[in-house]
Amino acid sequence: MKNLILFTTKYGSVEKCGRILAKELDGETEIVNLKTDSIPKLADYDKIILGGSIYLGKTQSAISKFAEENIEALSSKKVGIYVNSGEPSEKKYVQIKNSFPAPIHDKAVAIGLFGDEITWEKCSFMDKLALRLIKKVTASYSNIDEKEISRFAKLMNEA
């Protein structure tokens, strides 16, 4: 069994969650950063997991675009999608739905909301400003939901 976790991240929490997830998946798992690594052939994997983080209501366009461009190849695989997101309300489901093409989202064997994390020192000036104004946050915090990662891993393993 070969799994591929393909992710985009701005400050690292999607990658961190991908690495926690990889330890819980059965079989061999490769983790690939969509923006900085070379993309392997999807045909070589049995299960593919797409991960991104939500900014202003949507995930990075690179991962949405990748999903859009590979709908056909992804449709023949067991696909899981997860996001890191700070939204506590029901809106979090809308954000993930709006971030991936419907055929991928609706057919996903697992959908994960892994929580959020901010490393204050890594944030850009503009992101710090947005965090201060919108979330009243001025320091690092971590709300990564490890139970949710385990639930997601179980669904992927059983698929």
Ligand X SMILES: Cc1cc2nc3c(=O)[nH]c(=O)nc-3n(C[C@H](O)[C@H](O)[C@H](O)COP(=O)(O)O)c2cc1C
Binding site residues, ligand X, CB under 6 A: 9-14, 53-57, 84-87, 92, 95, 116-118, 123, 127, 130-131
Tell me how far apart the alpha carbons of residues 153 and 133 are, in angstroms, rounded to a whole number.
Answer: 35
Q: What angle do CA 37, 80, 120 make, to 5 degrees?
A: 60
CA 25 to chain centre: 15
Residue whose CB is less far from ligand X, 107 or 128: 128
Residue whose CB is less far from ligand X, 104 or 117: 117
**In contact, 67 and 83? CB cutoff 8 Å:** no
Residue whose CB is less far from ligand X, 11 or 66: 11
CB of 75 to ligand X, least distance (A): 26
Tell me how far apart the alpha carbons of residues 98 and 123 are, in angstroms, rounded to a whole number.
Answer: 25
Looking at residue 41, what DSSP letter applies?
P
CB of 131 to ligand X, least distance (A): 5
Helix (H, G, I), strand (E, B) or coil at 114: coil
Residue whose CB is less far from ligand X, 68 or 127: 127
| Overall size of the chain counted in residues | 159
Residue whose CB is less far from ligand X, 111 or 159: 111
CB of 44 to ligand X, least distance (A): 26
CB of 114 to ligand X, least distance (A): 8
Backbone angles phi, psi at 112, to 5 degrees: -120, 140
CB of 85 to ligand X, least distance (A): 3
**In contact, 46 and 73? CB cutoff 8 Å:** no
